[in-house]
Structure 1
Amino acid sequence: MPKKVSISPSQWVIIIGLLAAASACYLLVQPYVNAIVMAFIISLLISPIHAWLEGKMPTHKNLTAFLSCTILTFIIVLPLTLVFMSIVNQGAVFSQNVYKWGTHGGIESVINHPLVIKVVSLINSYLPFDKINPQNIAQKLGQLAASLGTNLVGVSAKVLGDATNFLVNFFLMLFVLFFLLRDHDKIIYALRHVVPLSRSQEDKLLDEIEQVSKSAVMGSFLTALAQGVAGGLGMWAAGFPGLFWGTMLAFASFIPVVGTALIWIPASIYLYFSGDTGWAIFLVIWSIAVVGSIDNLLRPFLMQGNSGMNTLLMFFSLLGGLQFFGLIGLIYGPIIFAVTMVMFKIYEETFQNFLDDQDNS
């Protein structure tokens, strides 16, 4: 049974001062919190490699941490650079093809398709307001296609800015990662020392954070990667730029509810109206049977480390994290839920006698 601690007024001053100072420090590092959190999570993921290097060079902590960061750079930055260059090239070619298709009768051929005419006629027969005019839609789409080149310049500039921002954050993360790897034992010891929990409670909390961090990364990002690869192969077989659309499918997989359907449904419709009915059917079947099954089977398997969280809690942790924090929320959401559940377990153990008395009263 832990000893009761009485806190004097002077100690309350120290605690309040510490909280105020910690809040001020958080405001200073708040713009870089994502880089720090990602460094912590990546340190967990590459810990086996770093542990192996430390086993080979136990007295050279600076060198082993530097080598681990260098290996990570070669694993992530170089492949991403090559992929990014290919995506930009394929995206430019695709935009040129869309421009040619839209300005050389492609839109008119879709608008004048018998199925489109029947659907528009059916909709117009039930609309209580102004009727849909296919020619007006064709004109708007033509203007959009004509302005695609101008829009592409703006998008390219934004992408370039985002890529530059990514590199800055990546090297900041590497800087933090170096110290996390080098001083891992000291950091864990300091955290254990200042957190007023028993050793078993600290172990539960740290183990759950580590487990959930790994499974969140594996579950979200590896699933997106697998769906991007599978979807890209299907798009390539159907005649689209595989790498570009595979990347778009990977990003779309993060969007709740609709996911990759945001990409492959319009692509299938385009193939159908272009006369490639067989490839349209193939893409629908491939996307549902292969790409969709990856999300239904692989994600739950990779995220099974989230102990105590059922499918409903996992869904809301991902959905809420994505909405509140953005893409990084796919990691933050499960971690917040998991830590909350561990704290509930600690609360239940700590106040077990009181809770039992309440149940029996």
Structure 2
Amino acid sequence: MPEKIKITSSHWVLVIALLVSGFACYLLVEPYINSIVMAFIISMLMFPLHEKLDNLMPTHKNISSLLSCIILTFIIVIPLLFVFAAIVQQGSKFSQNVYQWVTHGGIQTLFNHPLVVKGLALANQYLPFDGINPQQIAQKIAQFATSFGTNLVGISAKILGDATNFIMSFFLMLFVLFFLLRDRDTIIANIRHILPLSRSQEDRLLDEIESVSKSAVMGSFLTAIAQGIAGGIGMWLAGFPGLFWGTMMGFASFIPVVGTALIWIPTATYLFLTGDTTWAIFLAVWSVAVVGSIDNLLRPFLMQGSAGMNTLMIFFSLLGGIQLFGLIGLIYGPLIFAIAIVLFNIYEEEFHNFLDNQDNS
């Protein structure tokens, strides 16, 4: 039997001091916590490749870790630069076309469509707010289009700022990743030593964290990439800039419930109202049958590593994760749920006699 530990007042002081200092350390690293967490997750994904490099250079752990980070940089950064440049080019061209369409009466033609006129009339009749005036809407859209150049400068500045922040976060993540890959065994051994659990329980907890982290990344980001590619192809066939709108659909796929419909429904509606009925039907069918099926089939398949989590749990973990943490919540949400499930199972095992007696009483 394991030796019983007698808890003294000095132990409580030590525990409280440890919690306070731990919270203070968290406050210090909190601005960089997303980069640190992503480094942990990517280290799990990269470890099979790093292990091969480590076996080739068993006495040069620094070099093998550096090579792993360099390989990751080429895999992520270089393709992103080309994609970003193409998105900016296509987005700028598309914006210019929208500007020309609005300033040359396209919006007026759209509002004169019989279905739009009928829809606005029904809205004005039954909806409990002030009447919708097509002329006012057209005027505001025209004003926005007229000031588009100024808006574009502001948008470009924000994109540049976001890109700068992304680059800084990425290199911070690489810095953390280097040490995680190099000192992986030491870090895991220290975590095992600190956790007050049996070796089998530690294995279950760490395995579940690794499994869910991988499946969350694969399920969310690979699904977004696949939907972006499929949606971009459909948009391109319908006559829109494929790379730009495919990227927008990829980002929209992260939004629970609505997803890519946020992009393709307005686009298909626009095509229908402007007379391109065939392409409107094609885009709607393509988006439902192809793009939608990717989300319904690929995401659950890739996230099947979330052991013990049914579809409802996965849904709320993604929804709540985005609500609390933003985009990174797609990883945090399932991870928090999975850790809670494992801890609950451990609790059930440790107190099974008490729980059985409670059931029988």
**Structure 2 length as normaliser, TM-score?**
0.97
Taking a change above 3 Å as real, the CA distance of residues 51 and 133 of structure 1, as seen in their structure-2 partners, is: same
Q: Is the 8 A contact 1:268 1:280 kept in 2?
A: yes
* Distance in 1, Cα, partners of 2:328 & 2:91: 25
- Determine whether 1:194 maps to 2:194: yes
Alignment of 1:210-359 (within 5 A): 210-359=210-359
Q: Is the 8 A contact 1:231 1:249 kept in 2?
A: yes
* Distance in 2, Cα, partners of 1:124 & 1:168: 50
* Distance in 1, Cα, partners of 2:297 & 2:357: 44
Q: What does the per-residue CA deviation read over 1:337-359, in whole Å, with 9 as the maximum and x for residues that have no partner?
A: 00000000110111111111111
Q: Is the 8 A contact 1:317 1:337 kept in 2?
A: yes
Provide the residue aligned with 1:77 in structure 2: 77
Q: CA deviation at 1:115?
A: 1.8
Q: What does the per-residue CA deviation read over 1:264-291, in whole Å, with 9 as the maximum and x for residues that have no partner?
A: 1111111122221111111000000000
Alignment of 1:140-151 (within 5 A): 140-151=140-151
* Distance in 2, Cα, partners of 1:49 & 1:354: 46
Provide the residue aligned with 1:158 in structure 2: 158
* Distance in 1, Cα, partners of 2:262 & 2:88: 21
Q: What does the per-residue CA deviation read over 1:64-93, in whole Å, with 9 as the maximum and x for residues that have no partner?
A: 100000000000001001111111111111
* Distance in 1, Cα, partners of 2:133 & 2:216: 48
- Identity score, percent: 72
3-state SS of the aligned residue for 2:327? coil
* Distance in 2, Cα, partners of 1:26 & 1:8: 27
Tell me the number of residue pairs that the alignment of Structure 1 and Structure 2 aligns. 361
* Distance in 1, Cα, partners of 2:325 & 2:2: 38
Q: Is the 8 A contact 1:102 1:146 kept in 2?
A: no
* Distance in 2, Cα, partners of 1:21 & 1:269: 57
Q: CA deviation at 1:137?
A: 2.0
Q: CA deviation at 1:128?
A: 6.3
Q: Is the 8 A contact 1:95 1:149 kept in 2?
A: no
Provide the residue aligned with 1:136 in structure 2: 136
Q: What does the per-residue CA deviation read over 1:33-82, in whole Å, with 9 as the maximum and x for residues that have no partner?
A: 10000000000011110011112111111111000000000000010011
Provide the residue aligned with 2:167 in structure 1: 167
Equivalent position amino acid for 1:247 in 2: T
Taking a change above 3 Å as real, the CA distance of residues 292 and 127 of structure 1, as seen in their structure-2 partners, is: closer
Gap runs ≥5 in structure 1: none
Q: Is the 8 A contact 1:234 1:287 kept in 2?
A: yes
* Distance in 2, Cα, partners of 1:277 & 1:316: 37
Equivalent position amino acid for 1:12 in 2: W
Provide the residue aligned with 1:103 in structure 2: 103
Q: CA deviation at 1:129?
A: 5.9
Taking a change above 3 Å as real, the CA distance of residues 127 and 215 of structure 1, as seen in their structure-2 partners, is: closer
Taking a change above 3 Å as real, the CA distance of residues 71 and 129 of structure 1, as seen in their structure-2 partners, is: closer
Equivalent position amino acid for 2:326 in 1: G
Equivalent position amino acid for 1:215 in 2: S
Q: CA deviation at 1:151?
A: 1.4
Provide the residue aligned with 1:120 in structure 2: 120
* Distance in 1, Cα, partners of 2:298 & 2:30: 34
* Distance in 2, Cα, partners of 1:210 & 1:356: 32
3-state SS of the aligned residue for 2:305? coil
Q: CA deviation at 1:360?
A: 1.4
Q: Is the 8 A contact 1:103 1:142 kept in 2?
A: yes
8-17 or 84-93: bigger deviation: 8-17
Equivalent position amino acid for 1:83 in 2: V
Equivalent position amino acid for 2:337 in 1: F
Q: CA deviation at 1:131?
A: 3.5
266-275 or 333-342: bigger deviation: 266-275
Q: CA deviation at 1:125?
A: 4.0
Taking a change above 3 Å as real, the CA distance of residues 82 and 357 of structure 1, as seen in their structure-2 partners, is: same
Q: CA deviation at 1:148?
A: 2.3
